Copies of this chain bind each other. A is one copy, B any other.
Amino acid sequence: MAEEVLLIGTWGSPFSGRIEVALKLKGVQYKYVEEDMANKSPVLLQYNPVHKKIPVLVHNGKPIAESQVILEYIDETWQDYPILPKDPHERAIARFWAKLIDEKCYPASFRACWGADQKEHEKAVEEVNEQLQFLEDELNEKRFFGGEEIGFVDIVGNVIAFWLGGLEEASGAVVMAREKFPKLCNWANEFVRQSVIKESLPARDKLIAYFRNRFGAGTSK
């Protein structure tokens, strides 16, 4: 049976971007459908009635939602190019950092850029900086979090490697200062240089215009 792999996403979303990267790394052929989040399609509502959000991966008619859940599914379904390490402890560590990035670091980055006031902005910058310091230490001398190759934490870390820079430029805030986080900054450069990443990223100017249009001028301006 020919496999049917459908990805419902949006151009500017790091979360659907992750799924594209994973499918490309695995060499899985897929069809991409751009969702209009201002006018959600019946297909999205059918496949993700709980959250009504992208990304949704539909594999042979079966839907899966939530980007990290989809990444785990992809890794379990297609064996080429493992995304998570083999060792259970290393897998746990990768899941731990990925969870930190999505649950703490990325949401705090938004507050750092578009906090309600200067106080919230400063508090959030401090928060993100503490988290980034842990990530800087975890990365250490490695090329990627996954080692020599892009792995689970790198794919999830696209929000730091690429999107955070967009948030900073759109809002005028500085969250990940190069002098404080030289390793993370080098990793981010190395990450976005990879052809499989580059071809899955939105145009930076378009993303920044989108953020400005949606969130307005930043707190620190």
Contacts and interface: CB of A to CB of B under 8 A. Distances in A.
B91 A50 contact: no
Contacts of A99: 66, 69
**From A70, A77, A88, residue with most partner B Cβ within 10 Å:** A88
B134 A96 contact: no
- Overall SS of chain A's interface: helix
Interface in A33-54: 49-50
A119 to B, nearest CB: 19
A73 interface: yes
Chain A interface residue bracket vs B = 20 to 34
Contacts of A91: 72-73, 76
Interface string A46-90: 000110000000010010111001101100110000000000110
B96 A88 contact: no
Interface in A74-124: 76-77, 88-89, 91-93, 95-96, 99-100, 103
Give the one of A70, A73, A92, A99 with max B CB within 10 A.
Answer: A92
Interface in A137-187: none
